[in-house]
Structure 1
Amino acid sequence: MLRIPRLLCLCLCWPALLFAQKKNEAWKLPLSRAVSPIKIDGIIDEEAWRYAAVAKDFRMVLPMDTSAAKLRTDVRMVYDQQRLYILVENYTDGSKPYMVESLRRDFSFLKNDNFILFMDPFDDQTNGFAFGANAAGAQWDGLMYDGGKVDLSWDNKWVSAVKNYPDKWVFEAAIPFKTIRYKKGVTQWGINFSRNDLKTTEKSAWAPVPRQFPTASLAYTGTLQWDTTPPPAGPNISIIPYLLGGVSKDYAAHGNTTWRRDAGLDAKIGITSSLNLDLTVNPDFSQVDVDKQVTNLDRFELFFPERRQFFLENGDQFSNFGYSTLRPFFSRRIGLGVPIQFGARLSGKLNKDWRLGLMNMQTAAKDELLLPAQNYTVAALQRRMFTRSNLGFLFINKESLNYTPPQETGKPVYSQYNRNFGLEYNLASSNNFWTGKALVLKSYSPDRSGSDWATAANLQYTSKVWNIGWQHEYVGHNYNAEVGYVPRRGYIKVAPTATRLFFPVSGPVLSHGPQVTSTWFMDEQFHRTDNETMLNYGLVFRQRNTLNVWTSNTYIKLLQAFDPTNTGKDSLAVNTTHSWNTVGADYVSQPQQLFTYAFSARYGGYYAGGRRLMLNTELGYRFQPYVSIAMSANYNDIRLGAPWGYNSFWLVGPRLDVTMTNTLFFTGFMQYNEQMKNINLNARLQWRYRPASDLFIVYTDNYLPEPFYVKNRALVLKLVYWFNL
């Protein structure tokens, strides 16, 4: 087992680094009770706003963080017994219209004129909530975790309005106390406000944030100072039933038309003001976006992100344990292709220092696969350490119920159980310059023992001009995470990286500089199996367009037979070695233009002395704020010797988004994947007829390109309603 680097151990113990005072202690916004009723309409005519304190004098974050913001932004907040209110005046230069993508909820922050509120009710600089809107009125909300990341899958009940004037746009919102979680009696909440304006390319914040960090960074919040203790949220119980009807047919299997009638229920119960119980019975996720396909030329399993809301809400304690390719828990292992019968999750804060997450899910048996009913239990406990660091524990248990492995050969065999224990320390200094992680994992399976450990650590330093990092991992060949994402086992990985930025005083380039990364894989005897070293030079322009040019050297020793085209042709032999050089470039256009585009290309060697050319482009045009058209295209040209020869793969994906209002959305897209020989069509209409209540109509087709005929087809109608008790 590898040991944590000495440098990381020293950093974990730096008292001065970890106990430093909150950075923006001087930024305080007094909060008082509203003296009059407030109507959410974007019109400033209520007496309550005349007496509210004003947060103003925003500081610029981008392009540079050394001056006051050029655009004026004034923020007022008040409250009553049920809601927290916010009013924002976003002044503009008046010379150009606002810039937005669409009226769709949870828009891209950097591609819209917008205002966002970041709120830390526990003032722990780690977890919180985010609310905001773009200049056309599309809402943006999410759960905050890891001190500055936002999970936009969180969706709850609150109301807002945006109104445009010649010299400003006004955002007004009411957030029910039942929507958020907070500790009773805490009168100081962390808070910050962020403004993005594409016309001037200015991003600003009320409490100043260094430009190398997102304005969501909770290490740099100011303070919302209540005039008394916040009102209790009161009973907080929500019942969310759904009704579903659908029809489908599998033409490829010559199947009959199948009709579907279904119903299910979700419930949210506030155990305390900061601890929530989520229940689900017969959940359905048919309205979730399908995965974005990719051309697969990798030797290992690809990662596709979780999109089902039940698993994403407040799930960072489970899903963020570990690293991107070393995750002991990956919720997509639960219920894909197998019906979920019921589930429960208890999550939230016990107090300022302790977080708890408990989840239990039950899936049904599937006879045609001889798959038994399975139960999944996940428990996470997190303890705050020092100012912003924490120590976390994770336990995962997957159990096959009433299952005896079959004696006949050729039938699938499933494990009777798989368990994982994990311990993880997350480092975050008070100023966010130093971040890191150290973890250890242990698995238990009936047929595996010895070398069933995994351990990893990383440390990263981020300043305005330097970004220096180190990461290493060890995964034993018997480490088994059946409910996780661990695409390879039996390896040691070392990955240092360094970036240096330069900032010209004037000219079109805002910053530029080199980056060096090197990733080494070794077997458990420290023999090299993989290595990729890359030199990149990046440029960020003042108009926010970016350009990167790079070159890399790759070495691979195959530990398993591998088809370099992933098309089922012959495979390269085990223990053969391959090396090549590659050059590439990536360009992303200015986000403030109606027509946007991105382009990337790479050319160089490939396995067995072959050559590979890859071209990728993404084009977009918006008729703001109602219509957005996008086209993505990926082309791979691979030239190898016999038996593979010449191979080319197209992956094309046009997409249409129509947002008729901020409650009525249509999305239609196609994906043509030449490698998989599939054409996928998907169309979805969503009507949010009440806050957090939706009607979905989803249509899906899959075709075989040559000869062209339909493989399967489905139509689903789903109605969801949110009751507050």
Structure 2
Amino acid sequence: MIPISPMVLLLLGKILTVTEIKAPIRIDGRLEEIWYKADSVSDFIQFHPYLGESPGVRTVVRALQDDENLYFGIRCYGQPTVCLSGNEDFVLVAIDPFGSRTTAYYFRVYASGCFEDGWILDDGMSMDDSWDGVWYRGVKILPDRFEVEIKIPFKAIRYRSGLDEWGVQFKRYVASTKEEDYWTKVEELHEYQVSRFGILSGVRPLATGYHFEIYPEGYVRVDRFYGERDRIKPSGSLNLRWDLTPQTTLTGTFYPDFAQIESDPFELNLTRYPTHFKERRPFFLEGKEIFRFSDFGRGFFQPVEIYYSRRIGRLIEGEPVPIIGGMKLTSKSPLVDLGLLGAYTDSLQIEPRRFFGVGRTRFKIFRNSSLGLLLSGMRRDGSDYNYAFGFDGVYRHGSNQFIIDQAISDRNGKTDLATTGGYYGMNGRLLSLAAFETIGDSFDVSEIGYLPWPGRKKFLAYSGPFLQFRRGLLKYLYSGPAVIIKKNPGEERWCRLLGCTISPILRNNTGGDLSYYYGPYFEADTEYTYRNLNLSIWTNQGNTHLSIWSNYTHVYNYRRNFLANQAGLGLFFRQSIIPPLSLELKSHLWFEWDPDQKLIETTSLIRPKLKFVLNATTSLSIFNESVLTTPEHEWKETELYSNRLGLLFAWNLRPKSWFYIALNDYHSKEDRYQISAVKLKYLIYF
């Protein structure tokens, strides 16, 4: 190993050098003799509960590589907690193989052998668990420690060709003490900040050829509508992925079945805007980090979303529009990211055949900042189309981020502009965030994106001290004022709200948030005084997690078209009963009053769920979601709005290969049906 001077170490940060080996090693969790030839690091720093102090237990990490794989061996001293369904020890490895200082893969391995993977985005501001990669892991439990081996094939990830220094971060969680340790020092609000990663030196992928994946899917679905004959719907699809280079990937799908194994959750929407649902379909998840505008991941900022993948193959009366085929090309390089996507959908009921296209370019500047362009469009024929062209820029410096987005839309010849921007940062002990948006009255991306509030203009700002306490019960405390100025669509006058927030976090993983907003408000041709009070409390105590939240708002009710009070009360509870079995309970109450302050209806959601984890790759979940409505205070007249009983058996038989058995039994006052499904996704790669 080449010696490195202390001055270079100071300038570059922490370094772990990869040691080359000639042949692959067996991944079983046991660190054999070959591991002791590798460079190692053990200088972890505590993040929780006492920031910056030495860890209570020792962790040693080593790195190896052969021609085709990157390996990590991690020895975790101290007796581990192992629990398939609850709080247990884990290690996490994150790598930035492009030197982007903004984006990284992460690989998490629990002491039980369970695992997770995904993306770290926006320099740690956002996390995305939708990436499903090909990698291998092994865990060995010993009396005084546990050991983890991780194998990552170079062909399974994208990396910058010729770059021999990758960003890397290691994390260890100790369940018995709830201690969290990182290899490099991280900040309180930015624990996954990619720009603070250490260096993995000497990485030299030598694999030749192309990584090619064939991903067939087989699906049999049985629909049983009471009073009708059963409908049996067998189907098959083919998905392809071809890594043309380590930076460039071509993917395709032909007659895919995008039926959802898990349905979207019930949500009572009292606003004027449609609910935004998360993407779950594999073809659209691949490379989706390229097609998105930057975000802060904190909820106060809304990017100009001119590409919303759930518009493609959208649901019409519960049925997805069939997708005949789709192709996607993505490429990442040191200076620019590129993406092209095309999809063609079939007709369904009143929905005609349509073509969708998306193009994306993002240029990297100033180490970890970027400028980008995005073009999206839908076309049915010459007279029915929807196009949008947008620009986004993000500047990052330390803990500070600035974002600006702008786009122009064209819906059948009618055009308009939309602009949004925001800031998030820490300056000393002062935490500040701000956002603005101005959406043109005719801005319309309803067929390709999600920005359903044309004509809205808004500015908000929060700022206050973020205090940290080295010792004692209280760990963090944020408090500060807020200002929101907004003009709603169709209104001439501006709403002006003042608010305040206080958020304490205790050292025992308990926290809360209290906020209040007040001021003149104008919407739906109505002038009134807006009032909003929010209170939430949460705690995470090992195998028990509990969250309770409540809100009261005096606001316009778009479901009933009048101004009145609304309130909500929610609860989430999760408990590991025995190591393989956990109970999860979600409950939500919505209260609606009329303008005379009379309670007119209460809507209740109760969703218990049992999850039995057979082993690291196999699980069985059973849930029941009941939605009830109660008129006024007449609890004896409570009626069932809907009930959905679900069962899901999932077996991850090999990387990216899944076998599912699913059952959904749904009934309401108007309808009742059962859907049973068996699905197999099997990856063939070479």
How does the TM-score come out when normalised to structure 1?
Answer: 0.85
Are residue 311 (structure 1) and residue 284 (structure 2) matched?
A: yes
Query: Separation in 1 of the partners of 2:470 and 2:654?
Result: 51
- CA drift of 1:244 comes to 1.4
Tell me the SS of whatever aligns to 1:67. coil
Aligned to 1:521: 486
362, 376, 387: which one aligns with 2:344:
362
- CA drift of 1:48 comes to 1.5
Tell me the SS of whatever aligns to 1:628. strand
Query: Match of 1:82, as an amino acid?
Result: E
Map residues 29-428 of structure 1 onto 2, 5 A cutoff: 29-34=16-21, 37-44=24-31, 46-92=32-78, 94=79, 97-98=81-82, 101=85, 112-148=88-124, 149-214=126-191, 216-226=192-202, 229-251=204-226, 255-320=228-293, 324=302, 326-336=304-314, 337-349=320-332, 351-366=333-348, 368-369=349-350, 371-401=351-381, 416-428=384-396
- CA drift of 1:240 comes to 0.6
Aligned to 2:591: 637
Are residue 589 (structure 1) and residue 548 (structure 2) matched?
A: no
Query: Separation in 2 of the partners of 1:261 and 1:154?
Result: 27
573, 591, 596: which one aligns with 1:619:
573
- CA drift of 1:390 comes to 0.4
Query: Match of 1:517, as an amino acid?
Result: A
Say which is worse superposed, 166-175 or 514-523, in terms of deviation: 514-523
Query: Separation in 2 of the partners of 1:524 and 1:653?
Result: 36
Superposed CA offset, 1:85-131 (max 9, x none):
11111223x4x7346645xxxxxxxx653211110111121223111
Q: 1:716 to 1:661 in 2, by over 3 A?
A: same
Q: 1:506 to 1:691 in 2, by over 3 A?
A: closer
Residues 24 and 222, structure 1, Cα contact 8 Å, conserved in 2: no
Q: 1:554 to 1:361 in 2, by over 3 A?
A: farther
Tell me the SS of whatever aligns to 1:272. coil
Aligned to 2:559: none
Q: 1:687 to 1:123 in 2, by over 3 A?
A: same
Residues 455 and 474, structure 1, Cα contact 8 Å, conserved in 2: yes
Query: Separation in 2 of the partners of 1:302 and 1:586?
Result: 22
Superposed CA offset, 1:135-181 (max 9, x none):
21111111333222332111122111112222222111111111111
Query: Separation in 2 of the partners of 1:515 and 1:507?
Result: 22
Query: Separation in 2 of the partners of 1:22 and 1:316?
Result: 32
Q: 1:127 to 1:480 in 2, by over 3 A?
A: same
Query: Match of 1:176, as an amino acid?
Result: P
Say which is worse superposed, 642-651 or 129-138, in terms of deviation: 642-651
Residues 618 and 632, structure 1, Cα contact 8 Å, conserved in 2: yes
Aligned to 1:724: 685
Q: 1:690 to 1:97 in 2, by over 3 A?
A: closer
Residues 99 and 199, structure 1, Cα contact 8 Å, conserved in 2: no
Query: Match of 1:538, as an amino acid?
Result: S
- CA drift of 1:526 comes to 8.7
Aligned to 1:666: 620
Q: 1:535 to 1:378 in 2, by over 3 A?
A: same
Aligned to 1:6: none
Residues 237 and 270, structure 1, Cα contact 8 Å, conserved in 2: yes
Aligned to 2:550: 601
Superposed CA offset, 1:500-556 (max 9, x none):
222334321111131333332115899435454432211111111112223222543
Q: 1:453 to 1:74 in 2, by over 3 A?
A: same
Q: 1:696 to 1:464 in 2, by over 3 A?
A: farther
Tell me the SS of whatever aligns to 1:332. helix
Query: Separation in 2 of the partners of 1:686 and 1:524?
Result: 45
Q: 1:288 to 1:358 in 2, by over 3 A?
A: farther
Are residue 715 (structure 1) and residue 676 (structure 2) matched?
A: yes
Query: Separation in 1 of the partners of 2:678 and 2:492?
Result: 55
Query: Separation in 1 of the partners of 2:619 and 2:331?
Result: 32
Superposed CA offset, 1:397-422 (max 9, x none):
10115x8xxxxxxxxxxx61111000
Residues 302 and 420, structure 2, Cα contact 8 Å, conserved in 1: no
Residues 98 and 199, structure 1, Cα contact 8 Å, conserved in 2: no
Query: Separation in 2 of the partners of 1:605 and 1:527?
Result: 21
Query: Separation in 2 of the partners of 1:203 and 1:79?
Result: 27
Query: Separation in 2 of the partners of 1:293 and 1:500?
Result: 37
Query: Separation in 2 of the partners of 1:702 and 1:396?
Result: 36
How does the TM-score come out when normalised to structure 2?
Answer: 0.90
Residues 85 and 613, structure 2, Cα contact 8 Å, conserved in 1: no
Please, what is the CA RMSD of the aligned residues? Answer: 2.5
Q: 1:539 to 1:101 in 2, by over 3 A?
A: farther
Tell me the SS of whatever aligns to 2:521. strand
- CA drift of 1:721 comes to 1.2
Q: 1:171 to 1:236 in 2, by over 3 A?
A: same
Query: Separation in 1 of the partners of 2:678 and 2:537?
Result: 41
Query: Separation in 1 of the partners of 2:435 and 2:339?
Result: 27
Are residue 27 (structure 1) and residue 8 (structure 2) matched?
A: no
- CA drift of 1:263 comes to 0.7
Query: Separation in 2 of the partners of 1:390 and 1:628?
Result: 43
Residues 287 and 684, structure 1, Cα contact 8 Å, conserved in 2: no
- CA drift of 1:314 comes to 1.7
Query: Match of 1:232, as an amino acid?
Result: A
Query: Separation in 1 of the partners of 2:261 and 2:25?
Result: 36
Q: 1:489 to 1:32 in 2, by over 3 A?
A: same
Query: Separation in 2 of the partners of 1:388 and 1:41?
Result: 37
Query: Match of 2:544, as an amino acid?
Result: F
Tell me the SS of whatever aligns to 2:540. coil
Superposed CA offset, 1:442-479 (max 9, x none):
01122424xx1011211222257322122111110111
- CA drift of 1:256 comes to 3.3
Q: Give the count of matched residue pairs.
A: 652
Q: 1:523 to 1:274 in 2, by over 3 A?
A: same
Aligned to 1:448: 414
Query: Match of 2:601, as an amino acid?
Result: N
Query: Separation in 2 of the partners of 1:154 and 1:174?
Result: 17
Residues 167 and 198, structure 2, Cα contact 8 Å, conserved in 1: yes
Aligned to 1:411: none
Query: Separation in 1 of the partners of 2:287 and 2:127?
Result: 10
Query: Separation in 2 of the partners of 1:651 and 1:703?
Result: 15
Q: Percent identity?
A: 23
Superposed CA offset, 1:584-627 (max 9, x none):
321111242x2321111234645567444422111111135411
Structure 1 unaligned spans of 5+: 1-20, 103-110, 404-414, 560-574
